[in-house]
Structure 1
């Protein structure tokens, strides 16, 4: 694992709280992406949200002032499709989710079906239906394997928290007695599939995130150089709550702009 920033050749970074906040680019984020591009450093922007395709997310980031090509975006939907295809090439799935998830599975060679699918895949959606959840429960009881894109129990909205993938998965688990396999963060599987996408190795790859319980722990378990930014949900007190710690703690990605590492005092 790289211990110094100048040994890093490839970068993985979370999106919300690291590059953008409430649809606005965080100062320094656009310059950092340009710096990586100019230096020819492979990078991927990661998100646990499985609703959107990389093309959708690229357009959303562009509206926030960040130029990130769709091939530089890695979602939990892509990681889930990658995992399913590696386990059962040309398989079938029943999906509760949005276009981001169904498109990823289609492109991985999967067939969408409600009849004896190999997998039931649950991802992010704002339109969970009782009928679809009931169908998922019955298919799992009949032998379909249960996969979930990410464990987040709630998601943000302007009105307050919304139930998210983890909450729906808990409902299905309660009804079936079956726990899902979760592909997205904090499963380091998502980082490994991301590194495979850009031909990176853990020895020279860094992960930038704003959450200790997903970004940093998964980065440590994947053997990456980990950098926590304090521009998202974590503060220094949050860092000290955990038995592990990142390699670096910085205020924001602006501190990664061609400067020497600056360690925030804990």
Structure 2
């Protein structure tokens, strides 16, 4: 199977991990990219967590991804708004992943005549905050959402997510948000800018046809669908577009010499521990 890819973008849930457990081959693939100095970013539409949080979560699953190799819809949103309105102001509904990204992008967070209302993921959506957002948008603030996902999973079942709350605000204001996260290829383009890569030499690995693959195609990337998450082979036939490759898992991207390198790495760690 021939690939001419210098840089990789990959989704996280359903590709590298499933229910906080590493998918076989995921840790080895990250190690392969690091050994070969290939630029890569791990992407997620979830705006709740900071890169530090996500790096720790992956580490608990046995996958070593540095903070600077993580790219969230919160970071993509902050980068987009910094480009649009440097030093602007925003009323933000979201968790630390979003508020930290907006702070670091130089935004002032306020509920007094802000330039933007920015809606992200949170498990504690406040009716008071939503009401304030509606009034600010009606007053002229521009409406931004980090991602379109209408539900998010939890141990108790699905929870309403950014897309569902955005629909509520849209219904009250008649204003649709500009959504930065997947399937908007904007998220991939901002990721390419972060690593200084060109779309023609970059691959995108995902588990969803309706977000990862379509956005990858629209961004001009080499698209790889893995079957360890949402999509299966029958679902691919429902869409008028196709990924460049369909693989059982990320393990199929491992090169022949990677297994021996990973075995050597484990031996070295064992030697360190016994020393």
- Structures share a fold, TM > 0.5? yes
1:135 corresponds to 2:132? yes
Post-superposition offset of 1:202? 0.4
The answer as to 2:121 corresponding to 1:161 is no
Between the aligned partners of 1:191 and 1:4, the Cα distance in structure 2 is 23
After superposition, where does 1:56-71 map in structure 2 within 5 Å? 56-71=53-68
SS at match of 2:238: coil
SS at match of 2:113: coil
Gap regions ≥5 residues in structure 1: 260-266
From 9, 12, 22, the counterpart of 1:12: 9
Q: Does 1:123 align with 2:120?
A: yes
Which residue among 229, 241, 245 is the counterpart of 1:244? Answer: 241
Residues 1:209 and 2:206 aligned together: yes
SS at match of 2:55: helix
Q: Distance in 1 between matches of 2:172 and 2:127?
A: 13
- The residue aligned with 1:263 is none
SS of alignment partner, residue 93 of structure 1: strand
CA distance in 1, matches of 2:186, 2:228: 25
Instruction: Look up the match of 2:230.
Output: 233
Q: Deviations over 1:177-235 (max 9, x none)?
A: 00000000000000000000000100100000000000000000000000000000100
Alignment of structure 1 residues 86-125 onto 2, 5 Å: 86-125=83-122
Deviating beyond 6 angstroms after TM superposition, the runs of 4 or more aligned structure 1 residues are: none
Take 1:139 and 1:83, find their aligned partners in 2: how far apart are those partners?
Answer: 20
The alignment yields a C-alpha RMSD, in angstroms, of 0.9
Alpha-carbon deviation of 1:161?
Answer: 1.0
**Which is higher, the Rg of structure 1 or of structure 2?**
2
Equivalent positions of 1:29-48 (< 5 A) are 29-48=26-45
User: What secondary structure does 2:154 align onto?
Assistant: coil
Greater shift, 154-163 or 176-185, is seen at: 154-163
Deviation at 1:28, TM superposition (A): 0.2
Partner of 1:200: 197
Corresponding residue SS for 1:208: strand
* Aligned pair partner of 1:22 in 19, 22, 36: 19
Give TM-score scaled by structure 2 length.
0.92
Quote the Cα distance in structure 1 between the aligned partners of 2:53 and 2:90: 23
How far off its partner does 1:160 sit? 1.3
Q: TM-score, normalised by structure 1?
A: 0.95
